[in-house]
């Protein structure tokens, strides 16, 4: 078996925390059903309609732009994953590597190259200040497994306090949402605890989330730092400084941020790049989207993990955006940006299968007998780990 063919299977197992040898790499991870049966023939037919009505074209976002290549050329076969039950949401997960470092922000400063604090990008390798939905869809490779995901994700670069950027080893991103057939996914289902009307992630949707650099207000969504590795103490630490002594040399510190999952159903952006999306909350004891944002989109969590090496001083580490608020503890200004540009065929696959069939999909598995290929040269550790901050 070639290394490229082996890589997706190894990635499946590693995502579940399994230790994998070459001889063991054909085993499935703990989130999938272990089977000795032949791999099923991938289902290329049109998925059956869900029990919920299809969203109107206005809820689909931009007119979808197909990839200029055959999307199936970037897929390989995979077993159907296990149900996510007893969880009530389906999950779709994949891994990204660090991409370009730019003083650009195509959402906040569109067309103004070099105006932003330094950002670490993931996903589309061609994303820059001038990016649009059309440009993201038509060009660029991707550090998120495959150019099937030309979406752009970015956050402030991590600085070591000694003139360098610390590049993340890898980034874990996972989308979750209730199936559209769930009564809690429809405000007309008769379920008084309905969270909202569940819809697909709109094409071209873009937003900023986390700390608000304009108003200086704390994030409404969840952001925190975590630690892992031998001797580390895992936890939800509000700042990098709070993680000092908990994250240890030889281990990793993770920057974790949760995106909003409620949408107004009308706008793909807003003046402050935040108001068109929102977070669910408890209203009269019921967890749901606000009435101003009645549509439930797949929400995602992003985890960026950085190695702490010998000679590093975590007390000096900070995010590039922290320089704008030196009075705050390092890491306080944690925020991120997202610009949706998925291949429409593959986007439909993971929404219709992983989410709408309540499946537990990892490592780019699409829930229908296919999974995304991992790009050649993928590594779990950044190389180089440090690059000069410019």
Query: Mean pLDDT in each 10-residue stretch from start to end of the chain (390 residues)?
Result: 44 40 29 33 37 51 96 98 98 98 98 97 98 97 98 98 98 98 97 97 97 89 96 97 97 98 95 96 95 97 98 98 97 98 98 98 98 96 96
Q: What is the pTM of this model?
A: 0.86
Alpha-carbon distance of 124 to 43, in angstroms, equals 28
pLDDT score at 334:
97
pLDDT score at 217:
85
Q: From the CB of residue 222, how many other CB atoms can be counted at a distance below 10 Å? A: 13
137 close to 341: Cβ distance less than 8 angstroms: yes
Map out the domains of the chain as residue ranges: 3-15+60-388
pLDDT score at 168:
98
Alpha-carbon distance of 354 to 98, in angstroms, equals 26
pLDDT score at 219:
82
Q: Where are the beta strands (DSSP E) in 325-390?
A: 335-339, 360-361, 370-372, 386-388
Token pair 């940006």: residue: 337
* Dihedral pair phi/psi, residue 186, rounded to 5°: -145, 125
pLDDT score at 350:
98
* Dihedral pair phi/psi, residue 316, rounded to 5°: -90, -15
Alpha-carbon distance of 184 to 182, in angstroms, equals 5
Token pair 């001038």: residue: 130
pLDDT score at 244:
97
Alpha-carbon distance of 266 to 150, in angstroms, equals 23
């Amino acid at each position: 078996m070639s290394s490229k063919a082996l890589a997706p299977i190894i990635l499946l197992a590693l995502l579940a925390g399994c230790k994998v040898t070459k001889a063991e790499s054909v085993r499935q991870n703990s989130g999938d059903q272990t089977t000795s049966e032949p791999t099923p023939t991938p289902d290329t037919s049109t998925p059956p309609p869900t029990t919920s009505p299809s969203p109107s074209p206005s809820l689909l976002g931009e007119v979808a732009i197909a990839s200029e290549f055959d999307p199936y050329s970037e897929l390989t076969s995979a077993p159907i994953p296990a149900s996510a039950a007893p969880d009530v949401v389906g999950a779709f997960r994949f891994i990204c590597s660090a991409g370009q470092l730019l003083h650009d922000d195509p959402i906040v400063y569109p067309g103004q190259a070099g105006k932003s604090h330094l950002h670490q990008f993931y996903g589309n390798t061609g994303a820059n200040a001038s990016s649009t939905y059309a440009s993201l869809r038509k060009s660029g490779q991707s550090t998120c497994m495959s150019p099937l995901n030309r979406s752009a994700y970015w956050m402030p670069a991590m600085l070591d306090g000694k003139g360098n950027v610390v590049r993340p080893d890898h980034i874990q991103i996972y989308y979750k949402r209730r199936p559209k057939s769930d009564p809690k996914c429809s405000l007309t289902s008769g379920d008084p605890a309905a969270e909202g009307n569940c819809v697909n992630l709109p094409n071209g949707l873009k937003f900023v989330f986390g700390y608000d650099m304009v108003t200086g207000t704390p994030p409404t969504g969840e952001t925190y730092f975590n630690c892992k590795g031998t001797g580390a103490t895992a936890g939800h630490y509000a700042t990098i400084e709070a993680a000092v002594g908990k994250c240890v040399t030889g281990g990793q510190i993770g920057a974790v941020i949760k995106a909003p999952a409620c949408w107004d159903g009308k706008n793909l952006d807003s003046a402050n790049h935040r108001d068109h999306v929102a977070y669910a909350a408890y209203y009269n004891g019921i967890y749901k989207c606000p009435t101003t944002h009645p549509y439930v989109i797949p929400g995602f969590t992003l985890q960026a993990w950085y190695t702490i090496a010998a000679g590093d001083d975590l007390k000096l580490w900070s995010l590039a955006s922290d320089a704008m608020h030196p009075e705050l503890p390092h890491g306080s200004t944690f925020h991120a940006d997202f610009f949706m540009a998925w291949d429409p065929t593959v986007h439909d696959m993971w929404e219709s299968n992983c989410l709408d069939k309540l499946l537990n999909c990892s490592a780019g598995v699409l829930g229908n007998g296919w999974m995304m290929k991992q790009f050649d040269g993928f590594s779990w550790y950044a190389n180089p780990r440090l690059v000069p901050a410019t």
